[in-house]
Amino acid sequence: MHPILASGQRRLLYLASWVLIGLLFAVAWSAAGPGVRFPGALAVVVPPSVFYGFVCLSAWYVCRATPLAARSAVRILGTHAGAAVVATALWMLVWEGWLRVLVGSPAFDAGVLDAYRARSVVLPAAGVLLFWFSGMLHYLLIAFETARRAEARELGYEVLAREAELKALRAQ
Q: Would you state the pLDDT for residue 110? A: 67
Residue 153 lies in a domain: no
Note down pLDDT in tens along the chain; length 172 residues.
Answer: 788 888 889 999 999 999 999 999 889 888 877 777 788 888 888 999 999 999 999 999 999 999 988 778 899 999 999 999 999 999 999 988 998 888 877 777 666 677 777 777 888 999 999 999 999 999 999 999 899 999 999 999 998 889 888 888 888 8
Which residues constitute the domain of residue 122? Answer: 8-146
Residue 164 lies in a domain: no
- CB contact set of 11 (below 8 Å; sequence gap of 6+): 4, 5
Residue 86 lies in a domain: yes
Residue 131 lies in a domain: yes
Q: Would you state the pLDDT for residue 169? A: 85
Q: Would you state the pLDDT for residue 151? A: 93
Q: Per the structure, how many domains does the chain have? A: 1
Distances (CA, A) of 113 to 23, 25, 61, 94: 18, 15, 35, 15
CA distance 13 to 79: 27
Residue 80 lies in a domain: yes
Residue 124 lies in a domain: yes
Residue 170 lies in a domain: no
SS3 89: helix
Q: What is the pTM of this model?
A: 0.83
Residue 126 lies in a domain: yes
CA distance 172 to 168: 7
Q: Would you state the pLDDT for residue 90? A: 96
